[in-house]
Structures are given as C-alpha cells and as structure tokens.
Structure 1
Amino acid sequence: MDLMNKTITLRSFNCTLDTSYRFSYYQISYSLIFSFGLASNLMALRRLWLIPRNLTSTAVYMANLAVVDLFFIVSLPLRIYYYYNRSHNSTWSPGRTFCQLTFALKYISLYGSIFFLACIGVDRYVAVVHPLQQQLRRVRTAHMLSSGIWFLVLALGLFLPFLLSAASMSHQPCLLDPSSQRHRTFILVTLGVVQMVFLLPALLLLFSYCSILRVLCRLAHRRKVRHRRTLTVIYWVLGIFLLCFAPYHINLLGYTLTHTGVWPICSLAKVTTALHPVVLSLASTNCCLNPLIYYFSSSLVHKEAAGNRGSGSQ
C-alpha cells in the first residue's frame, strides 16, 4: 500500500506529507538488495542442489525459500525503473498490468518467506520436542505442505493486487486513493488480510521457539550441545522475523489507518510515512538474509541427509 505522489495531502484531516525522498531511496536500496539477493540465493540453491539425493524436510523448505525469494528479486529491476522515472518527473506511466505484476511478486515473496520460515521453525520444533513423531518430518510431507503453501501464496499474490487495483486511481493505476469511502474499504480489507497472514505464522514460530527452549532446559549439557545447530536455525528465523517483518507490519498498521482517515492524527501520519521506505526496505532485505539460514545450518542439513540415507527411513 504505497501512496506514490511526491507530496501527499490527507484531505480528511488536512495533513500534508513530503515523500519526494522516497524515489531516490528506493532506487539505491532496491539496487543493493537485487545485487546481494540474486547472488546469495543462486549460491544457496546451488549448494542445496549438491545435498545427497536423500533430502531432508529442512532442505525442502530452504530450497522453496530460495525460490520464493527469486520471485521478488526478478521484479526489482521493474521497480527500480519505475522509481527512476518518478524521481526524474518522467511522463512514463506504467499500465495496470505492470502494477499488478509487481504487487503480485512482492506479496508472493514476502508471505512465501514468512510461511516457509515458519515451516523451518516448526520442523525444528518437531525434531526436538517430538523426536518420535518423525512422520511429520518426512520429505513427502514437506513436499505436500510446500505445495499447499505455494497454492496459498499464489492465491494471495493474485487476490491482494486485485484489491489494490480496485482502489487505485483510474489515470494512475499504481497510485492508491484512500479518500474514497469505497476505496478505503478495499484498503482496510487488504490490511486485515496481510496482518492476519503475518500474525498466525509469527505466533506459531514463537510457540515453537518457547517449546524448544523448555525441552532443552531439561536436558544434560552434553545433549544440549547436540541441538546447538537447531538453536542456530531458530535464532536466525526469529531474527529475520523481528528485523524484517515485524517493523513493516507494525508501521503498516499506523501508516494505513492514518492515510485512510481512520486515525486522523497528523503527527502519526508523518512518522509512519517517514518510516515506511525504511521498514519496506527492511522487509525486502529478507531475501538477502534468508540464505544465511542455510549457510549457518548447512552442517545440520547434511548431517540429517546422511543419517536418512544410512537408515533408509525416507
């Protein structure tokens, strides 16, 4: 939900906001994210491909995570070109298809990452808290769950841009018009959907983390060391949630409610508008940080793959 004019006047409570700096900021930040994200995800996919053919559920989720990141990365040149034209007052105006495509790729990447990161956390939870229920960690189960997530994410990737398109200006399809009561309803429905889609995996991940810590606190020191890699994975997943996704969704709440006039507080509108480019870039940075989860836990993935190959359990 990005209001793209250089100055925004919130007519419902007479508040004018300067947003001209966004265009240059997005060009720089997205260029850096594109460079690092493309290189790191291609390297992660290459290393995951070299894992023994007897995959693990963790490797399946990580591979899907890298693929979903690439969806967003390939959209960044389009976004950079768009912001470049906006910053130079170009007369070029993107069509509705362009806007829907970039929105769709953004949501596929953002919420695909959230779901697959939650899967990695729950996978570690089952491995530590319910080690005897390994049927939940079978590769076939991971593939089925990943397919379901892709179906959900692709549905969101089509549904949310459709809502935003319905709330856009007819002559500028990439710009939203929150002043209209009808458009405000579309925008608030979209806000409710994205907040729910973030909160449910976040709560599931927090439950998994607390359960793992509770179990590990009861173990002897020698057995705790065996699960050190699991804690590394959980810490990285939680770190990405707290750094990338939580600030974006918290700020998005105030940003949207002030711009639609639900909270007519000019000072809050100014703060959330100033923070919006920063937290949106942080949310996008997850495609650069996600591969680090694999790099810092690759020994765990290879160890489990070797164990599964030796036992023939999968």
Structure 2
Amino acid sequence: MNSSNLNISNELPLPSGKCIRDTSITQVVFPCLYTLLFTVGLTLNCLAAWIFFRIPNSTTFVIYLKNVVVADLLMTATMAIKTISDSGLGSWKLKVFVCRYSAVVFYMTMYINIILLGLISLDRCLKIAKPFGRAFIQNTTFGKVLTVLIWALMFFITGLPNMILTNKTPSASVKKCSSLKGPLGLKWHEAVNYLCQIIFWTVLALIAICYTFISKKVYESYKNSRRNDKTTTRKTKARVFIVVAVFFICFGPFHFMRVPYTLSQTGTLSDCRAQNMLYVAKESTMWLSATNTCLDPLIYIFLCKVFRKILFNTLRFKPNTVQTNETQTNAEENAMQ
C-alpha cells in the first residue's frame, strides 16, 4: 500500500468525491499495541477462566463475572485477527472477514461487557442494602436466564444483522468497512451505534448511583464503629470505585467520539481531512476500550473474595490483605466480596 498516495488524498478530495483513508499510522503503531494487549489479555483471562471454572455458580455475582471472562476472551481473540489485517500481513480477504465478522464480535462483546458490569454494580448495591436477604433478581436461575437473554439480544440486534448487511461484493481495493454495506446496512449500523450509546450512558449512570450508595454505607460503617485506620479506608475506597475507574478509562473516550465517527461513515460528513482525523481518533479510543480485557481481572481480584483466595493460593502467595479480611466491617464485606 502506498502511504504517500494516501497522504496526498487526505489533503485533496478525489474527483469522484470519495475519500481514501490514511492508514499509515494504524498499519504500524496500533498492530504493535494490539499485540501487547492480546498477549497480556489472553494470559490474564485464561488464568481467570481457569480459576472461575473451579468456582460454583452459587451467586449471580459469580455468574456475571464468568460471563465477563467469556466476553473478554472473545474480544481478545478478535485482536489477533485485527492485528494481522491492519498490519498488512494478511490478504484483502482477511480485511473483509474483519469487517463482516471479527469487528462485529469485538463491538458486541464490548457492550455485553458494559451491561454485565452494570449488573455487577447493581448486584453489589443490593447486597449491601439487604445483607441478610436476597431480592429475586439475585436468584441464580434469574442470573443465568438474564445473561442468556443479554447474549441472545445483543447477537440478534448488533451482531447478526451487521454481519448479514455487510453484503456488497468485496474486492482487493476495499479500504473501509462501510464500503461493504448497502444503504440498509449503513442505516442499521447507524441505529445500532445510537443504541449502544444509550446502553453505555444508562449503565454508567447506574454504576454511579450504585457506587455512590455503596461508598456512603461503607463510610457510615467506619464512622459508627469509630475506626480511624486511614490505610484501610483508602483500600476500601479503591475497591469501591474500581468498576467506575474501568468505565472512565476504557469506555469514556470512545463513546464521546463515536457519534461523529458514525456520521462520517454514513456519509453525513464529507470533508476528507475530518474523516481521516476521526478515523485515527476512533482507532485510538477503540484501543483504549480494548484495554478492559486487561483491567477486568483487577475487578475480579478486588471484588471477588473467592477468586482472590484461589489466585493467591495458586501463586502460593498470602498477603496481609487476605489475613485482615476477617477484621473488615460487614459493610465492606457485603460491598466487595
């Protein structure tokens, strides 16, 4: 691929009105970054899957975490395909495969992950609100049915239609995934993007509400028991806000710029320079979103006591934090175990 020609076309619009995408950066830098994510993410999530395989589905909390691991493993697998395609090591047919299937799975698992983290936050909030009882939505059967519905709905709304509607006859000159979509495919793609925006902001609001409530209860517990251990308080706060931190770091930037990028794909934005700038911004924030495959294991360690115990026992490492769990307040245990 001649990058110099791409740079020229980025400065001047083509006579046909089409805009050639500048992929000079994404062919070199991002494949290296995705390779790093793939290596770390695959290692961490395979270890997490092995540990969760040993944990029974005794609570909805564990069920949700197991589904997060599955979503992360699928997302990690798509990174390897994207890396080969973007670096130019594969044929143009691999690029078509990425557009039709791999990229669709990437986005689908991203939003399944987002929904599941919202459910985890709600589950922790209900646990601290009713420490000695269970709401019906904390029933394990309900959790299993709900997760199956989430996977099915996301597949049949965001996954399968985008795969089917990427139906134009491909050629070796394919550069943009949107060029493989017909008018209906572009409209569906745009609608799905707006739906995913709604999902993200709804879940983010839910997480903020839930963890505000949790942090308030934890603070009240320390205040009532007159515990002044500042080190323990800092650790508690870090654990409480780990989900919120993952959301802001991984998913916030991507969703701020996804709407303008979608508009550029569907033909609303005609300026070639702006389209290429949005493309680079989208790729950068998408990589940041993909880092959740490496950060989610931190959530398992901080929030799941059983996972933490098996991990430390496997590594034959017993830190003081494990020994002091028995002396923590009931509010902290309910919120973070």
Please classify the TM superposition score into its range, dividing by the shorter chain length: 0.7 to 0.9
> Which one-letter code corresponds to 2:42 in the other structure?
L
Counterpart of 1:297 in structure 2 is 303
Deviation per CA, 1:63-107: give whole Å up to 9, x if none.
11001111112222222221222xx6x764337555322023212
- How far off is 1:263 after superposition? 5.0
**Contact kept in structure 2, 1:61 and 1:119, CA below 8 Å:** yes
> Which one-letter code corresponds to 2:268 in the other structure?
V
Counterpart of 2:51 in structure 1 is 47
Deviates more, 1:254-263 or 1:69-78: 254-263
Change (3 A) 1:158 1:131: same
With structure 1 as the length reference, what TM-score do the two structures score?
A: 0.77
Which structure has the bigger radius of gyration? 2
- How far off is 1:286 after superposition? 0.7
- How far off is 1:26 after superposition? 2.4
* Bigger relative contact order (CA 8 A; separation at least 6): 1
1:205-284 to structure 2, matched below 5 A, reads 205-221=207-223, 232-262=238-268, 269=275, 271-284=277-290
Deviation per CA, 1:173-217: give whole Å up to 9, x if none.
863239987665344223222222322222222222233334445
Counterpart of 1:176 in structure 2 is 178
Q: Which of 7, 15, 20 is the equivalent residue of 2:24?
A: 20
- How far off is 1:260 after superposition? 4.1
Change (3 A) 1:100 1:267: closer
Note the aligned Cα RMSD (angstroms): 3.7
**Contact kept in structure 1, 2:178 and 2:265, CA below 8 Å:** no
**Contact kept in structure 2, 1:254 and 1:269, CA below 8 Å:** no
**Contact kept in structure 2, 1:232 and 1:297, CA below 8 Å:** no
Change (3 A) 1:212 1:199: same
Deviation per CA, 1:233-274: give whole Å up to 9, x if none.
541211111111111111112222245453567775454333
**Contact kept in structure 2, 1:178 and 1:187, CA below 8 Å:** no
Where does the alignment leave 5 or more consecutive residues of structure 1 unmatched?
Answer: 304-314
- How far off is 1:28 after superposition? 0.6
Counterpart of 1:134 in structure 2 is 134
Q: Distance in 2 between matches of 1:118 and 1:199?
A: 11
- How far off is 1:36 after superposition? 0.6
Change (3 A) 1:174 1:93: farther
Q: Distance in 1 between matches of 2:76 and 2:141?
A: 28
Deviation per CA, 1:11-65: give whole Å up to 9, x if none.
79998863311111221111111101111011112222333x4622221111110
Q: Distance in 2 between matches of 1:119 and 1:108?
A: 17
With structure 2 as the length reference, what TM-score do the two structures score?
A: 0.72
Deviates more, 1:57-66 or 1:137-146: 137-146
Q: Distance in 2 between matches of 1:290 and 1:174?
A: 31
**Contact kept in structure 1, 2:65 and 2:300, CA below 8 Å:** yes
**Contact kept in structure 2, 1:62 and 1:294, CA below 8 Å:** yes
Change (3 A) 1:234 1:114: farther
> Which one-letter code corresponds to 1:191 in the other structure?
N
Asked whether 1:154 is paired with 2:155, we answer yes
Counterpart of 2:120 in structure 1 is 120
Where does the alignment leave 5 or more consecutive residues of structure 2 unmatched?
Answer: 310-324, 326-337
**Contact kept in structure 1, 2:31 and 2:83, CA below 8 Å:** yes
- Number of positions where the alignment pairs a residue of Structure 1 with one of Structure 2: 295
Asked whether 1:68 is paired with 2:102, we answer no
Q: Distance in 1 between matches of 2:211 and 2:190?
A: 31
Counterpart of 1:105 in structure 2 is 105
